[in-house]
Amino acid sequence: MNAILQPLEATAAEAQHAIVDEFGMLSDWSERYQYLIDLGRRLPPLPEELRTDAYKVDGCQSQVWIAPHGEAAHLEFSAISDSSIVSGLIALLLRVYSGRSAAEILATEPTFVADLGLSRHLSPTRSNGLHAMLARIKHHAAHAARAA
């Protein structure tokens, strides 16, 4: 089974704009949390062989695994969490960063986080976890770029 979520948009910037537009259609944060949970439920399952310490993200209260695939020209990520909301955050990150080049990943700041006000509406531990997941994605991209 393919555990890699393919991006919907051609660029990371387009993905971020689409995410902000989608969340903008939801009237309040209870609907936004439910949407995050729904996004997380749609993530492909992560094979057990990728649920190892090598792919586990430190700094998250929940268990999170992010596994890179590919090379600098085209990096994809498969990921999952044991938390519904965190899985939704993963789905957003994958939509922005998976299926992109290492250069695009490294050049793309997660502006959608501020645009949505996610940091204000997540618990401090989830907010820290979001930043840890982003750091892991960027770390993999930097490693791939150096290897190229």
> pLDDT tens digits, residue range 109-137?
999 999 998 888 988 889 999 999 999 99
Taken in order of first residue, the domains within the chain and their CATH numbers are 12-147 (3.90.1010.10)
What is the band of 6 on the pLDDT scale with cuts at 50, 70, 90?
low
Phi-psi region of 2 (alpha: psi -120 to 50; beta: other; left: phi over 0): beta
Catalytic residue flag (residue 60): yes
What local confidence, expressed as pLDDT, does residue 1 receive? 36
Marked catalytic residue, from 12, 46, 60, 113? 60
pLDDT one-digit tens code per residue, 92-112: 999 999 999 999 999 999 999
Q: What is the pTM of this model?
A: 0.93
User: Which is it for the CA torsion 11, 5, 86, 138, positive or negative?
Assistant: negative
CA atoms within 13 A on the CB side of 22: 15
What local confidence, expressed as pLDDT, does residue 8 receive? 80
What local confidence, expressed as pLDDT, does residue 7 receive? 73
